[in-house]
């Protein structure tokens, strides 16, 4: 690992990682702050200098939703400046380009990126599983083999599992009795048996809980076959479950356009 001196007295190390670009913010005239979910170093923010200049060496590689290979400068342990800088970037797959002309997929990608950021509140805390899920979801969205809304809901269910609050589906959320229970309560934590069912529980169609289970397990033949009303009910429950556990509502989730483009 190379080390370069800086004016502030500590040494900035150069290190490599691959990452998903979650967010890009302007910094002054020509610089950008890039929020990255990296494979080995968790979420971090890095400044990319001169990205707007003509013939920029970064160019379009640092756009949201891209999978990139980076060389970063800064201490990977987090000592010193919290803001790392991007010194090299190579594109692995720029998924963002494929969403620019596809609004439903763009909104789903935005909800995925926002969720990934919200589920990594602490910078530089490695979260390999969430990185893999986020990369996989963007790749699946770009591939277009499954409806964007289903890819998003599968991502949200699995991402919630990494945070430890996936909804109970195959057992009662309260007493743990296995089986498919008919009632669903967001405050109780998912499906609930007749004994534990709190007042105000929802009674989703059995096919809706089957879809939720299929999305969690990656059983795509079952998920793809789900009818539109079942998909709508499932995404409503997934969104309600997600919002219940997050301190602040996701900005991008209500904006997701679930019309399917071909």
Q: Which residues bind Zn ion (CB under 5 A)?
A: 172, 174-175, 193, 196
- In the bound state with Zn ion, the residue whose beta carbon lies nearer, of 20 and 174, is 174
Shortest Å, Cβ 216 to Zn ion: 20
Q: How many CB atoms lie within 10 A of CB 90?
A: 10
Q: Which is nearer to Zn ion, 41 or 181 (CB)?
A: 181
Closest contact distance (angstroms) between CB of 188 and Zn ion is: 9
Report the chain's terminal Cα–Cα distance, integer Å.
47
Contact status, residue 171 vs residue 188, Cβ threshold 8 Å: no
Q: Of 36 and 174, which CB lies nearer to Zn ion in the complex structure?
A: 174
Beta-strand pair 42-48/84-94: parallel
Of 208, 186, 187, 183, nearest to 197 (Cα)?
183
Characterize the bridge pairing of strands 183-185 and 66-73.
Answer: unpaired
Smallest separation, CB 190 to Zn ion (Å): 11
Shorter beta-carbon distance to Zn ion: residue 203 or 251? 203
Q: Name the burial class of residue 175, with classes exposed (0-12), middle (13-18) and buried (19+) by CB atoms within 10 angstroms of its CB.
A: exposed
* Residue 177 C-beta: closest distance to Zn ion, Å: 5
Whose Cβ is closer to Zn ion: residue 72's or residue 174's? 174
CB of 169 to Zn ion, least distance (A): 13
DSSP code at position 55: T
């Amino acid at each position: 690992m190379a080390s370069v001196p800086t004016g502030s007295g500590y040494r900035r190390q150069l290190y490599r990682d691959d990452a998903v670009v979650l967010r890009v913010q302007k910094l002054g005239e020509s610089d950008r702050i890039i929020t990255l979910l990296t494979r080995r170093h968790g979420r971090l923010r890095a400044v990319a200098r001169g990205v707007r200049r003509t013939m920029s060496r970064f160019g379009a590689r640092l756009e949201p939703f891209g999978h990139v290979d980076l060389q970063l400068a800064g201490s990977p342990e987090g000592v010193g400046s919290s803001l790392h800088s991007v010194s090299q970037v190579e594109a692995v797959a720029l998924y963002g380009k494929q969403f620019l002309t596809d609004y439903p997929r763009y909104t789903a990608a935005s909800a995925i990126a926002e969720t990934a950021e919200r589920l990594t509140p602490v910078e530089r805390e490695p979260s390999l599983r969430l990185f893999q899920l986020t990369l996989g979801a963007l790749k699946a969205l770009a591939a277009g083999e499954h409806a964007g809304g289903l890819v998003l809901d599968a991502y949200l269910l699995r991402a919630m599992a990494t945070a430890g609050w996936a909804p109970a589906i195959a057992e009662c959320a309260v007493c743990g009795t296995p089986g498919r229970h008919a009632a669903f309560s967001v405050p109780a934590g998912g499906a609930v048996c007749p004994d534990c069912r709190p007042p105000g529980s929802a009674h989703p169609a059995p096919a809706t809980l089957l879809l939720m289970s299929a999305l969690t397990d990656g059983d795509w033949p079952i998920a793809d076959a789900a009818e539109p009303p079942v998909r709508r009910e499932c995404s409503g429950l997934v969104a309600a479950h997600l919002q219940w556990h997050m301190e602040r509502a996701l900005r991008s989730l209500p904006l997701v356009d679930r019309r399917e483009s071909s």
